[in-house]
Structure 1
């Protein structure tokens, strides 16, 4: 494992803080990043979208988080969708998270497989007025690649044109700038690993060594 997972209480707090800033009668959806292909049968290493990781601690592709604060039922206030693993996946890609593992990492009790997402979304979308979408509008953002989040937003607005839209990103930018002490400890640990690696490499550096 690349890092030691944080306590799911941190992700519970992060979700609670985000939902406290949402407008009434609204819902929010967050998507994981895509896995980007290199060739017909090879891919780049997966890198999770920072926002969904901040809210769930889940570091896996095809993950979706749905937040619905107005719900009177705890089971539909926070819903996580994960990729379903099969024998082919286990052989060629390795084990994916089980629902139990996803619950332990995120602290979310309601977990479905991603194939159920549109049905669950529709059952909630008909009850709300506003969708929170996670569009990065940073002034330096300039990507020619349509992300999984971009594709979802296009699909959502096409299928639910009568809903209002609000931005998740400004809320998350403020909240993510304030780190939990445990997050700071992990950042320090990562810096220390980098320092040790750099100093080790310096011992081998000399002229004509590349």
Structure 2
């Protein structure tokens, strides 16, 4: 991504704003951990998508039709002194921020309130940003939240509009530059999985597998694990978000690995299942192949214009058929208890989600899928009474004709996985 990409994103957003509107997007805060410690800083993805700036205390003001061109785009960045530089390092100069973002007018963050006032008095509408992801738990007030509270108090007579739905609609459609970053993240994730094939065996600690994954990701400049790796062996393969990774892998078990790289903030999301001793048992292979068939049929079904709910309904129909084939219940049981009962027992998540700057990316599930959106396809069957959890996850680019599998080169055929593991066991 470069300044031309960020400028294009701002132009797409400007086209969706009402006439006479000013919009503001703030950086995330640096979050505390304990004592005087802080967590690793992670930028507000909306701000990054519009500016490319990865620093805290950053804000972007957009007023596309302001009569004075100097107020149409203003980027605010943090000004630091020599003591700050000694402890924490330098931050962008005004000129560096101009070059990264493609925004001509860059000011210090200390000037934000005055310049925002000068813009707001010319505006009819103020667009405020917020986290509106349907699965978000907003227990911590963001800088955007604080600004919204201050703004409504300071400018009580303006009309206010929500910025998040506009950004979510735009971010669903990936540019070629974004798709290339996601492909890179997928390739790095595949390298991590191939590395694991050399290490998974009886007695290996789940935490060791996690360490090997992160080690591989960090060999690639700009890559990191953007979510906690799941290395779930045995019965814990049936826990969707098992992240303690505290056990050792035992012979005869499967180990479910849900872990992927982020590359320059764009995410992959990969899940594979391995037999700890290098060979699937007949029952493990039966369940594995059932899930793999569902994944393949879902990929054949997905295309631009489909709705996420439509794909999920197809996913559930396919899974019910496979559950019957696995002998987990009879047709009469199904007619008596109903589909929802057995799906809740054995298949307790959706088929997948949008993917991009967020692992669970923004975008309405009630709008048809556009071309060049990116999805995960991750059906799963979890048989807790047998200690077998199988989830297989690939990332796909949605096209008018169907999908392009961005993880086609990552081993998924159980015969190939067994053969690769036998080479090192």
**Alignment gaps of 5+ in structure 2:** 206-425
Aligned residues: 205
Which structure carries more relative contact order (alpha carbon 8 Å, separation 6+)?
1
The match for 2:171 among 176, 185, 203 is: 176
1:74 shift after superposition:
2.5
The match for 1:105 among 60, 79, 100 is: 100
Q: Aligned to 1:42, what secondary structure does the other structure show?
A: coil
2:131·2:138 contact (CA, 8 Å) conserved in 1?
A: no
The match for 2:193 among 176, 198, 203 is: 198
Deviations 1:16-56 (A, max 9, x none): 11111111111000001111011232211111111111111
Q: Aligned to 1:69, what secondary structure does the other structure show?
A: coil
2:345 — aligned with what?
none
Deviations 1:153-176 (A, max 9, x none): 111111111111011111111111
1:139 shift after superposition:
2.8
2:235 — aligned with what?
none
1:33 — aligned with what?
28
1:91 shift after superposition:
1.8
1:52 — aligned with what?
47
RMSD: 1.2
1:148 aligns with 2:148: no
How far apart are the structure 2 equivalents of 1:44 and 1:177?
A: 28
2:226 — aligned with what?
none
How far apart are the structure 2 equivalents of 1:22 and 1:97?
A: 29
2:66·2:122 contact (CA, 8 Å) conserved in 1?
A: no
2:16 — aligned with what?
21
1:71 shift after superposition:
1.8
Deviates more, 1:66-75 or 1:45-54: 66-75
How far apart are the structure 2 equivalents of 1:38 and 1:44?
A: 6
Q: Aligned to 2:157, what secondary structure does the other structure show?
A: coil
Q: Aligned to 1:151, what secondary structure does the other structure show?
A: helix
1:87 aligns with 2:104: no
| Residues 184 and 56 of structure 1: CA distance in aligned 2, closer, same or farther (over 3 Å) | same
Deviations 1:145-193 (A, max 9, x none): 1111111111111111111101111111111111110110011111111
